Structure 1
Amino acid sequence: MTHPADGGPAPVRILVCDDHVVVRAGLLALLDSAPGIEVVGEAGTGEEALALAARLAPDVVLMDLQLGAGIDGVETTRRLTAAPATGTPPTGTPPTGSGRVPHVLVLTTYDTDADITRAIEAGATGYLLKAERPEELFAAIHAAAQGRTTLSGPVAGRVMANMRSPRPSLTDRERDILAQLATGLGNREIARALFISEATVKTHLRRIYDKLGVDTRAGAVAVAKEQRLLP
């Protein structure tokens, strides 16, 4: 853990959320050497991140997108930025957080349009790829603490490209169905997997076809892959 020198500015308080123990250990070791940054907690699930954020009141949550079982990084980000104290501290542990909303800096290996769009719409302040140099990560953390947006170069390029030529706007449910479609499932299997009716699946498929400008399942999957709409 880093600590500010007496009289110096307070360090940026960080909560690290990543479901891979080895990755978390590497990040903690890296951040421990960073000036002006203090890691106050680590979480392996979205639920744990919500609870710790409510109790520890970090300035920035360093968030992975894929978190295994439970809610993913996008949903965790949405809950963290929606309102203060959205987590539930462990039984018998009184909350000590300040009630303020932390900034969320996504740190991930995923750079699809779908992932980027969902994270930004959920309230992420920045979006960084794990391939970035440590100095870039440190700078992004300090920027996020001040509410300033930082995007990795490839991510920024993708965002600009989408602004110039917007991708089809799919709802979350349509993205879910498209993702299932890409695995080769039929309508009945998709309905079963998403706990909806087969008729509902067909309705969503018609809307997906219209938005993507296709009229077949294969065409929808091809366009989705080409435009990086699949998570």
Structure 2
Amino acid sequence: MTRLLASVASLEELTLAARGGADILDLKDPKAGALGAWPQDAIAHAVDTARRWSVRAPLSATVGDLPMDPAPVTRRVAETWACGVEYVKIGLSPPGDPVGCVEALAPEARRGTRIVAVLFADLWTDPGTLLPDIAKAGFAGAMLDTAGKGSGGLLRHKTKDELARFLAQARGYRLLTGLAGSLRLDDIPALLPLAPDYLGFRTALCAGADRGGALDPAALAAVRNAVPRQPLNG
């Protein structure tokens, strides 16, 4: 069953999203790019805050929109994982050496770092071509997102058939799967039948669909109602 990932930009939003029933809490700074990162000390503070809750959803954290240079990518992933989150998300883009970055992260994955590759539907003609390398490196998951948030949502860049093919490939490699990318409330009925493990939201959770604005509890409730809720251990 599909779960709800909510991207949050602050500790206040972290608490609001948790209370609103998000299944995974994604630490991301929407004003700093597609995968803008929180500062390391803020990530650690968020982890400490969440650990005080009696029941909580897993936390993921992005590492920023990094150039595809294996050494700094590996270092940032390791630093972010050390903050105590359950997943670290790294965006893979065509320029540079994305395959080299994936290979360089394999030792981190073997040490237990749960890495999720984020592939950008508006940058990759066929993002599935990287899935064999991602699986071989021991990543925990792979998801599709969009890099250019002003160029339309996920369904503008990939058809439902293309999304279904990507998800089937990823499942074949036993990867956790996710779809995101300026998703709207009315995208949910089209995407739920594809059965990704997660649907990720930011824009649809904010007042006026302004991804750089504040999380709106009413908007979160509408999305939460549209994505059938599952037990965290279900």
TM-score range normalised by the length of the shorter chain: 0.3 to 0.5
More RCO (CA 8 Å, sep 6+)? 2
Question: Per residue, is there more helix in 1 or in 2?
Answer: 1
Question: Per residue, is there more strand in 1 or in 2?
Answer: 2
Greater Cα radius of gyration, structure 1 or 2: 1
Give me the TM-score of the superposition, normalised by structure 1.
Answer: 0.35
